[in-house]
Amino acid sequence: MKQFNHFSHRHLLNFAEVGEEDEIICSGCELNLPGSAAYSCTKSNCSFTIHTSCFELPQRIRHRSHPKHPLILLSSPPYSDGEFTCDACGESGVAFTYHCCTCSFDLHVGCASLPESEDCDDHE
């Protein structure tokens, strides 16, 4: 079985289908994984799992809501409390964030991926 590296995790990952009955949250976007293709940690005592779409996210983007600087994908918030507040939707997050270190600007990966014509809805 082929194993994969990802910048956000120190262990190797396997590609797998997550069953509909499984209650797993993506370690990248914090959304439910059931019924999705995903990458899971090969270590039995580690619960790290991410959607294929989160696995494939670009590590650097330009975003219309923050045109002055590029945003860098971080695997966790750079703040001492381990949380960030998304500057698009106002909700907090503890996982992947697109971050500008110059301005302390943060976006959820889902908010960063929305088309320009859509607004971010509440994440609940």
**What pLDDT, on a 0 to 100 scale, did the predictor assign at position 11?**
97
pLDDT tens-place values along the chain, 124 residues long: 789 999 999 999 999 888 888 889 999 999 998 888 999 999 999 999 999 999 999 999 999 999 999 999 999 999 999 999 999 999 999 999 999 999 999 999 999 988 754 555 544 4
Q: Check residue 120 and give its pLDDT.
A: 53
Q: Which residues, 6+ apart, have CB-to-CB distance to 10 below 8 Å?
A: none
Per-residue model confidence (pLDDT) at position 29: 94
Tokens of 3: 């194993």
DSSP 33-59: -TTSEEEEESSTT---EEEHHHHT--S
Place of tokens 């696995």: 55
Tokens coding 122? 């509440």
Q: Where are the domains of the chain?
A: 3-55, 60-113
- Are 73 and 98 in contact by the 8 Å Cβ rule? The answer is yes
**pLDDT for residue 119:** 54
- 111 phi/psi in degrees, rounded to 5: -70, -35
What pTM did the predictor assign?
0.86
